[in-house]
Amino acid sequence: MKLFSFPAAALEKAIHKRVLSLPPPHREWFAERWQQKPYKKAFIEHKAMPLVTLVAKGKTWDDATFAEALQEWDATFYEAETEVLSPLVQGDGLLQLMQKNLPAERATQLLEKLQQRRAAAGPDAPGASND
């Protein structure tokens, strides 16, 4: 997927701000990983930036292009990651202007993508059953 030219530093700042408002189990889980440079870099490149691209370009792409880009975005999300990224789709903070004209059905598809991937994320995610 061709990435949207969005400043990574601004995205990192928005993520950091969101982490501060996460509920405790998600905050600890995500903050611990966020401090690790390889995780932070991979999270920005493979999860957050593609989401920003889909939000920004999703307003003008036709249905086929949007569906193809969504399909190409092959990332697995832990529950805490979904909690961090969901507000970026829902109109919170940094991306409000980009989200303004995003069709509601596309926003719903993005949120479903985050939720759908969460179930496949594995047993060490917060909130996952370790039975």
Give rounded-to-5 percent helix, strand, coil for the chain.
Answer: 70, 0, 30
**95 or 61, which is more confident?**
61
Domain boundaries, the chain: 8-118
Q: What is the pLDDT of residue 1?
A: 47
Could you give the angle at the alpha carbon of 37 between the alpha carbons of 34 and 39, nearest 5°?
60
Residue 117 pLDDT greater than 70, yes or no: no
Quick: pLDDT tens for 89-114: 876 655 555 566 678 888 888 888 88
